[in-house]
Amino acid sequence: MIEGKHMPRYRFADVHCHAHELGSRVSEYAEILLVGVSDDHESSLKTLELAVNHGNLVPALGVHPWSLDEVPVEEAEKVAKLVEKHSEVRILGEVGLDKKFKPHSYDRQVRVFEVFLKLAREYGLMLDLHAAGAWRETYEMVIRYDPPVAVFHWYTGPLDLAEEIAGQGYYISINPAVRIQEKHRRVARLVRLDRLLAESDAPYNYRGIRMEPSMVADVVEIIAEEKGLSPETVREALWGNFARIASRIGLKLGGPG
């Protein structure tokens, strides 16, 4: 049941973590609703299996642009068939483009991304997006296909584009890197609260920070600091943002606590 007036069972939503790498540790974060993104067909299967046994895990299936060094373009069609088979899957991720770390496979990335853009449009799904070094290109492709929801994960692109993304009705997720990454902090300060979400990208090491889902609480505190609001106000706002997304894509959240 989608949350309405009742307090959710989960205190936070982590809208981007790699649950297939966390494995059984997903159960350690019972107060956090985790969106577990996948990297390829194999990890998509693992994510689905974990979601069966962990009520706090929302499965997201996809092909990460980095994975195209190891898997063929046809991997996207295999994952698409999984999505079509499993009606409980309402989020596609991690999908998108990367010109910063993987420019050599950009043409293949575009072909794969188009598969997921079409799937999102056809089935009314959310896109959990990777767009490093290709923020504008990713945004323009999303606009072209017009999915119901798009979340730009760990946004460090141009600030004017961040405002454009928010103005278009899409979302930006803030990562624990906001502790030390000044550009990401500026994004948290600039983007209006009703278009922000929190994420961990766990388990990932960034400049000495070992990212874990529990760090979404820190993300909330930093957003609150930047906006001059209380952490509880921000926590409730971010949960509300995700609850509205869930309602729009037909995703069932947990019952009231």
Does residue 257 form part of some domain?
no
CA distance 138 to 112: 12
Does residue 3 form part of some domain?
no
Tallying the residues shown for the chain, one arrives at 257
Helix count (H) and strand count (E) of the chain?
Answer: 9, 10
pLDDT of residue 253: 80
Does residue 217 form part of some domain?
yes
Is the predicted pLDDT of residue 2 greater than 90, yes or no?
Answer: no
Does residue 2 form part of some domain?
no
Does residue 1 form part of some domain?
no
CA distance 172 to 70: 28
pLDDT band at 61 (very low <50, low <70, confident <90, very high): very high
Q: Averaged over 69-92, what is the pLDDT?
A: 97
Counting the structural domains of the chain, the total is: 1
Is the predicted pLDDT of residue 1 greater than 50, yes or no?
Answer: no
Query: What is the span of the domain harbouring residue 117?
Result: 12-249
In sequence order, the 6+-apart residues with CB closer than 8 A to the CB of 75 are 40, 41, 63, 67, 112
pLDDT band at 127 (very low <50, low <70, confident <90, very high): very high
Does residue 254 form part of some domain?
no
Is the predicted pLDDT of residue 3 greater than 50, yes or no?
Answer: no
CATH number, domain of 70, equals 3.20.20.140
Does residue 95 form part of some domain?
yes
Is the predicted pLDDT of residue 155 greater than 50, yes or no?
Answer: yes
Question: Which of 4-18, 73-87, 110-124 comes out lowest in average pLDDT?
Answer: 4-18
Q: Averaged over 109-116, what is the pLDDT?
A: 98
**Locus of tokens 């993987």:** 102
Is the predicted pLDDT of residue 179 greater than 60, yes or no?
Answer: yes
**Locus of tokens 């979404």:** 216
CA distance 149 to 146: 8
